[in-house]
Amino acid sequence: MGWLWAALVVVVGYWLVPELIGHHGQAGAWAGSGAENRLALTFDDGPGPDTPAVLDVLRQHGVSATFFVVAEEAARYPTVVERMVSEGHEVALHGWHHRSALTMAPWTAWREVAHGRALVAAVAGRPPRFYRPPWGHHNLVTWLVPGLLGLRRVLWSIAPDDWRSDRPPDAIARHVVRYALPGAVVVLHDGGGDRTRTVSALPPMILGLRRLGLDLVPLGALGEERAWVRKIWAWREGAFTRRYRVETVAAPDGGPPVLRVGRAAYRGPVLPGAAAEDPPIRGGAPMAEIHFQNYTLGQASGDAAGGLRAWVRVGRSMPELGRWVAQDAALADVALVGGVTVLDVGRAVERLGFHRRELGGLAMLPMRLYLIFLMVVFHRQGLRVLRRLARLKPVLIYMTRQEFLARYGPDAS
């Protein structure tokens, strides 16, 4: 039975653990920073017959991207790779062949990375800096060896599955724009099959991302997130955004967005309706829940006036949020617009038209700790913000749908 245990140790140590930690957990992988309002478009599996069309669209819109090329395909289309380099794109490694690491012996995995790197360097005229294994699959070699060869492992935070034949271009573009956040890495595909849908999705995708104030840059120009807490939080926030379909609201000045909104069930005390004759709003009622873009508000903080500056930016985004609430079918029946915050500065909440209600008691302790954690992680003062601990109390801010649209909807004055 000893050999069974040995085989189990090999399987777990060589395949299972690296796949779970390196792929699904993205441990040790390069991650973009949300401190700058930038996003990286990346393309896998090429070059292929549709890559020139992808390059045409990127050139027309003045966008530079990162191409994770398959080395054998790069050797087959050297002029396309040369064009990538000449037009300012970054050429990275996707492996020697397009093979899953879950099917490779250690020596095969080594060749996939080492020979692939050498071949891409020869075709592109410079060694690649980044590596993404096909499908994101990992074994112990593809997890550890890239670093020894000067490569940074990169996965992704937004995947619209543009490779699927049932994904129309508008769905691909909409997916990317919906879940876009500063520091995000988008994975698209320019090879490995018919990529005409990706080509068609790129123009509306680029316009939508720019409307959110995002600069589209190669990975090398996207600042790296080095704080492990923020890396974990970015992964969690991306998962939360996808699960609850939270959407980013564009800032009116084209700058970094400060607000996001999603549909949720109201959880809180009974609230009065918009008019005296309206029924009260109870727990479980549909709500347009406001979420703050933590990095953006964190950059606006840092001194005594930071909280007020943050609310000024929130106020400027309210008309855009009003248009969203009025026009989004998913929010058509919400009874409330609001959320919970510890950013309660002076009478800023009331000046924006929100009602406020302090939330206390032991039931709110987890929410309070959660919001304080966000302040510590994203506030410029970091742990020093805990000096204001006694004043950091969760506050429910809200308006009924009627009140909100009367003040900020498309027909409001």
- Is residue 149 in a domain? yes
pLDDT at residue 315, as a whole number: 84
In this model, does residue 24 exceed pLDDT 90?
no
Assigned token pair, 175: 């997916």
pLDDT for the residue numbered 19:
86
Tell me: do 148 and 217 sit in the same domain: yes
> Are 111 and 189 in the same domain?
yes
Distance of CA 219 to the CA centre of its chain: 14
* Same-domain status, 220 and 253: no
Residue 2 domain-assigned (yes or no): no
Would you say residue 302 has pLDDT above 60? no
Active-site residue list: 44, 189
- Verify that 107 and 145 share a domain, yes or no: yes
CA separation for the pair 91, 51 (Å, rounded)? 13
For residue 408, the model assigns a pLDDT of 94
Domain match, 256 and 110 both: no
Residue found under tokens 């189990």: 8
Let me know if residue 240 belongs to a domain: no
Q: Would you say residue 231 lies in a domain?
A: no
Domain coverage including residue 60: 11-225
Query: According to the per-residue pLDDT averaged within each range, which of 189-203, 243-257, 284-298 is highest?
Result: 189-203
The rounded distance, in Å, linking the Cα atoms of 381 and 365 is 23
Rounded CA separation 221/40 (Å): 9
Residue 186 placed within a domain: yes
pLDDT in tens, 242-283: 777 888 888 776 677 888 899 999 988 888 877 777 788 998
Residues 338 and 377 in one domain: yes
| Displacement of CA 354 from its chain's centroid (Å) | 29
Q: How many domains does the chain have?
A: 2
Q: Of 57-61, 234-238, 297-301, 352-356, where does mean pLDDT reach its minimum?
A: 297-301
Asked if 183 and 307 sit in the same domain, the reply is no
Residues 64 and 138 in one domain: yes
3-class DSSP assignment, residue 204? helix
**Which CATH number is 70's domain given?**
3.20.20.370
260, 348: one domain: yes
Q: Within this chain, do residues 32 and 129 fall inside the same structural domain, yes or no?
A: yes
Q: Is residue 76 part of a domain?
A: yes
What residue spans of 61-167 are helical by DSSP H?
71-76, 78-86, 106-124, 140-148
| pLDDT confidence band for 312 (50 / 70 / 90) | confident
285 and 344, same domain (yes or no): yes
> In this model, does residue 391 exceed pLDDT 90?
no
**In 207-253, which ranges are E strands?**
215-217, 247-249
Between residues 353 and 205, the one the model is more confident about? 205
* Whether the predicted pLDDT of 334 surpasses 80: yes
Q: Is 23 contained in some domain?
A: yes
Q: For residue 52, what pLDDT is reported?
A: 98
Pairwise CA distance, residues 323 & 410, whole Å: 5
Q: What is the pLDDT of residues 134-155, one digit of tens each?
A: 999 999 999 999 999 999 999 9
Residue-level pLDDT at 371:
63
DSSP states of 344-396: --TTHHHHTT-EEEE--SGGGHHHHHHHHHHHHHHSTTGGGGGGGGGG---EE
At residue 361 the predicted structure's pLDDT band, cuts being 50, 70 and 90, is: low
Task: Kindly state whether residue 235 falls inside one of the protein's structural domains.
Answer: no
